[in-house]
Homo-oligomer: A and B are copies of this chain.
Amino acid sequence: MKRVVTFGEIMLRLSPSGHGRFVQADSFDVVYGGGEANVAVSLANYGLDTHFVTKVPDHEIGQCAVNSLRRYGVGTGFILRGGERLGIYFLEHGASQRPSKVIYDRAHSAISQVKPGEFHWHAILEGADWFHFTGITPALGKGPATVTLEAVQTAKELGVTVSADLNYRKKLWSPEEAKQVMSSLMPYVDVLVANEEDADKVFGITAGESCVTEGKLSEAGYQEVALQLVERFGFKKVAITLRESLSASVNNWSGLLYNTKKFFRSRKYEIQIVDRVGAGDSFAAGLIYGLVTGMPDGEALEFAAAASCLKHTILGDFNLVSTKEVQTLAAGDQSGRVQR
């Protein structure tokens, strides 16, 4: 069984149920999630030996976050306890022309305050096949950025494949900061995942004149972006997720993979959205699963695209699907017929 380690923040997510607005809520649905935690849960669901590394406060709310991972089989033995608080984000689900809304309350979280040396990366990554992080983790502060660097350096030493999802968050840092920090991490990265805006925001690499708010995506543009990324940082593979937001209720979704030799474009899904948060993470997890288990690149991309298509239909950050469910969809059955 392949062993994958991911590192980052897990937050308490609070949402009004259904399509309720924040100002209407007198209860919040509670789930826990965060980019790398979401990837870990996907991979544990697919049956890999998966570990999530983070730091959570030593109280019940921190424990709840840990339990949310254990429940789905993620290894939590490397999680540190301590620090001030668990990061929180508030999510309001949109509908039709009304966008979903996220309010972050993640500053001062335990993981954002970690110091270099707190994690024993050799012990953590020993025997691992893959290490994954996203651009959110180094954006949390200098401590996490340095610790991420420790992690990827150790991974390289130990021969662990490294993947990164750019995941630019404008509330956490400026493009300038992102560019500087991420550029120092990219040399250790084998597989890069990005969405249609990240490459531009973080590295100033653009997809030509495609205009995402009007729902038009130029495939050629994205290929160009992938090429530039490979040229600049020497990635072995670059994957890009392509979202066309027709409304808060319906999106088109697909992915693209460039392996320095060939471009692959996945099937495109028109999706009636239940919860689109974590879709990018589920794509990254699908891709990692495909690659770490030895699928051909095109198949891995289709697995990633199908997995993340399904994520849109599941409440919460976590993509709670099995490999069999993903494979059925990747094989082309979009009929949604009742499985008895």
A positions within 8 Å CB-CB of B: 14, 17-31, 59-61, 63-64, 67-68, 70-73, 84-86, 88, 90, 92, 94-105, 107-108, 169-171, 212-215, 245-250, 269, 271-274, 276-277, 306, 309-310, 312-316, 320-321, 325, 329, 333-340
Q: Is the CB of A67 within 8 A of B23?
A: yes
Query: In the assembly, what is the distance between CA of A18 and CA of B316, in Å?
Result: 13
Query: In the assembly, what is the distance between CA of A85 and CA of B107, in Å?
Result: 9
Q: Is the CB of A99 within 8 A of B338?
A: yes
Task: List B contacts of A101 (CB < 8 A).
Answer: 60, 338-339
Q: Is the CB of A95 within 8 A of B19?
A: no
**Complex partner residue of A97 from B95, B271, B316, CB under 8 angstroms:** B271
* 7 intermolecular pairs with C-beta atoms under 8 Å apart: A26-B31, A94-B336, A96-B272, A97-B269, A102-B338, A171-B340, A248-B337
Query: In the assembly, what is the distance between CA of A170 and CA of B338, in Å?
Result: 13
Q: Is the CB of A336 within 8 A of B98?
A: yes
Query: In the assembly, what is the distance between CA of A68 and CA of B107, in Å?
Result: 25
Q: Is the CB of A27 within 8 A of B25?
A: no
Copies in the complex: 6
Q: Is the CB of B340 within 8 A of A95?
A: no
Task: List B contacts of A72 (CB < 8 A).
Answer: 23, 67, 70
Query: In the assembly, what is the distance between CA of A316 and CA of B20, in Å?
Result: 10
How far apart are A60's CB and chain B's nearest CB, in angstroms? 4
Query: In the assembly, what is the distance between CA of A100 and CA of B68, in Å?
Result: 23
**Complex partner residue of A64 from B23, B30, B96, CB under 8 angstroms:** B23
Task: List B contacts of A68 (CB < 8 A).
Answer: 71
The 7 closest A-B pairs by CB, nearest first: A248-B336, A245-B335, A71-B71, A22-B60, A95-B313, A98-B313, A96-B272
**Complex partner residue of A99 from B90, B107, B339, CB under 8 angstroms:** B339
Query: In the assembly, what is the distance between CA of A215 and CA of B246, in Å?
Result: 22
